[in-house]
Amino acid sequence: MEKLIITAAICGAEVTKEQNPAVPYTVEEIVREAKSAYDAGAAIVHVHVREDDGTPTQSKARFKECIDAIYKVCPDVILIPSTGGAVGMTAEERLQPTELFPEMATLDCGTCNFGDDVFENTMPMMRDFGKRMLENHIKPEYECFEMGHLDTILTMARKGLVPGEPMQFNFVLGVPGCTPATVQNLCWLVNAIPAGSTWTATGIGRHAFTLAAPAIAMGGNVRVGFEDNLYLERGVLAKSNGELVAKVVRIAKELGREIADPEEARRILSLPARKK
């Protein structure tokens, strides 16, 4: 079994300091949380960015400022900027970080309910996102919130509309209105991906660690972080993203999985070595 790749989704676009004071907004806070996750064992940091007042933004300039600052303290980390942005943003707005030519970026695989909102990812939008990632040589992490999302993106890959094999999937389960975070649903998704693919499981809210444990045992990878869950355990707010990553490391050790460093994660994900 390969070593475990841990991703830290450090701030997202929706969570606030009112919910947990440690949620980062400023560049300095985002760097602090990225470093805490990296030091605890995360090989990947999934990056959303905010204005200093917490407003979500997809500004190319803000992404560059944050990415450059993170690389100064975590020079070998894998960064996956979000092209999901926040609900209601336009496709061109969301695509701005791809203009920085990151090694990876997220690509959301379909429209879905997102609590009381609708997260729109129409077929034309997805074709545009796939075209941009093909042109800019960016490896997508395919974000699947629903079971139908997987079939959709596999069909697009067969048609050459998005980057193909080897593919990396992130199964985001437990979003209110989307596919529930059950082991049965995770197994269905994992059994449907092409041979040679890699995958990550993300459990939302109270499902963060109950989905992490079976994913680790199944040979998959795990994402945690403030974007998905603000609590270390029931009623106990996490003080940092590093605390959430450290808990995954402890679970993995109990289950006999070693933790991948960024260099090992790049090999597992079929990424080229990062240039010094």
Q: Which domains does the chain have, with CATH numbers?
A: 6-268 (3.20.20.70)
- Which residue ranges in the chain fall short of pLDDT 50? none
pLDDT at 273: 86
In order, the DSSP letters of 123-186 are HHHHHHHHHHHHHTT-EEEEEESSHHHHHHHHHHHHTTSS--SSPEEEEEE--TTS----HHHH
This model's pTM is above 0.85: yes
pLDDT at 79: 98
Please enumerate in sequence order all residues whose Cβ is within 8 A of that of 195, keeping only pairs 6 or more positions apart, or say none.
none
| β-pair partners for 27 | none
pLDDT tens-digit map of 82-98: 999 999 999 999 999 99
Q: CA-CA distance, 219 to 252, in Å (whole number)?
A: 11
pLDDT at 276: 60
